[in-house]
Structure 1
């Protein structure tokens, strides 16, 4: 009897011990990193990590850096680092937990509204794939010097005295997707794209360009779909589309269902406007809503766009008469089939849910409470078409994921009704 009791006690102890040590059903908790980096980087920056960048960082050729959701990359405002991408970069956040490239909170001052506190993301020709999904890029655009890594490596414009864009991509055989992301508080160009199969979709651009600079600046070597982006008060154009540079293929951009507001007024030259076309670019422009922009779709009359370009079903609104006057068709200003173009101030109000259309046209500050969805009964509803062909209907495959350009909508602009 005593032996039976002892055996029973040992059995209980064994079961409890096994239970305590059995972790097969327990999900391990991955702690976020707190790292200070400079020089070469690759591997994975884990979810919700804080990465302090003390100097220029480089993803080596053949290597990859993956950045998980919620990672905060804090740039040192003394060294003003650049991120050089010789390999591949996958920065994939979520709506609730985006990735942020920024600066210390104490540097986000009114005097630094247009950034210039760090460089930008500069992808060399050896970069074959780059994804920014739910990423915030802010307070950058530092001026290059002879000591800049980009200048030493012959990247971007390869000279001192240039302001870094938030993103430069240069591989004509590469793949680039930027979606669900925000570029704000930037010194000059938000993006400068010189090659690749490219999708820009569902992004927001604002407070960019102190004395110059475009939202999306595309050159030769690029095939792109640009859709459902909100671009507010760029210094110059929301979209600058060109086939300069002599690269193959000829630039071909399908830009549709973008909402473009208050652009061009802070650049008092012939180029400041909404969409600028030049140098044989083939541009198909549909369903774009341009409100209070300095010009309509404008061409370089000496170096115009490819004759195969198509302009159709775009929508214009101007609160003031000077805005309306400057989007009237001419040899410089393109009008398309089924475009909505009024002739009087405040005609064809698109009826945004929450945006005062009399906002100062020189304003560069963005109110995140604004809502550019269309109210029920908006005249911009039903003005779009969906029958055109986009470049990446079937998608671009990057790192095993297929990214498709969005389906076009039957309304003008990036946002329908709620």
Structure 2
């Protein structure tokens, strides 16, 4: 076999991304806070980039959710955030307890074994550290007497019992039902529970309603839970003729290219310095250009959304959102789908109805009897209204909801789709939504 070596030329097409193009793609997918951090870091490395101080600092808007965007059925709202965590809060309480140093030390060791929800794992204990059984029990009792109520429990059942034990105005049946019939109670086998225990269904219902006021994860409220605040990249404002979409300029750092170094570039014998300054100047110019492109693209996308979703902006009703997919949006704007995706990712817009994520306005089309345009978002709002207005003693099943939505609202959904939307809205199944009355015992 003859083998030869030599040089040959081959022509091929390859996509080459310049540094500037990479920067444009990166900046487009940044939200306002990420963009500000990026520009600050770039300015530290480039002496020609100057960041002007904003006369009015960035305004932080609280993110609003439409009523019905989620259905918090069994969780109570988180209490105000605290500067320290759960352990710090409990250590503060221990400093005020009149006990021996040894018992305080043992209790602190228990605190250090709490998980993020305020529970102790099955193998948690302090006997392996030289404490007796009696000392361990005493330390555990002290731990469980601290705030928040329910901390130091080893199970959900014990957590609820610890909280219930502190309340004077609890239903008479609560302690007994939780301690003796918890499995049947949690599984909502209430008729069986009533037959075994002798409690009426209404008494069991009252206990259930009471438990909804307790917190199943007492420690989670002390782990740095902060209110959700965002800086909108865009603003929708009412005008005399309707609405107008614009950029929130206060959310983007205002930069300029310094001219102080121009004289150095013209000096002789400064080749390396001149080369360095020219590169930094070009980097700054590209940054300005890229920021303008980012703004132009995002405003263009938002204007198209505004055009399609006029019914929503006129009324503020999510059920009036029209079907709009990412591909449809990209085609209407004359940009690639990936560009549209980056323009939407993590971005928020300030509207007359609160600060909303831009992806909120994208929704798929669903079937209807007369082939009219119906959106998934609208279907979810209708579903939510049906559940909110249903007879709680006889709640609607998923199949019944599908039938009502078709008959009354021309929304053609399968039972599976209803169940999927219900899960997304955090709406429990009909068996859990059902409420009992005195007549239920009959």
Kindly indicate whether structure 1 or structure 2 has the higher relative contact order, using CA contacts under 8 Å at least 6 residues apart.
2
Using structure 1 for the length normalisation, give the TM-score.
Answer: 0.20
Q: Which has the higher strand share?
A: 1
Using structure 2 for the length normalisation, give the TM-score.
Answer: 0.19
